[in-house]
Amino acid sequence: MNFALYTRNGCPYCTQIKQVLEGKGYKYQEYKLGVDFQRETFYNQFGQGSTFPQVVLNSSNLGGCTDTVRYLRENNLI
């Protein structure tokens, strides 16, 4: 599984989803706002009003932290 996390500094939900993935041994690629992408690019990719983090699994957007945890539970991945 290939997880990509789009995060920003100071985001507690970004920290939480990283802890969930790391706790289960999942590896991920992290992209940070202001370092790897700009806000405009983020909104173009995920839509206006999207929140941090955004999690992509194998090129499918899972959404934010809550949506990602729900998906992982429903699919018995955590």
Domains and CATH numbers, the chain: 3-74 (3.40.30.10)
> What whole-number distance in Å separates Cα of residue 4 and Cα of residue 17?
11
Give pTM, 2 decimals: 0.93
pLDDT, average across residues 43-55: 96
Give me the pLDDT at residue 27, please: 97
pLDDT at 65: 97
Asked if 29 and 4 touch (Cβ cutoff 8 Å), the reply is yes
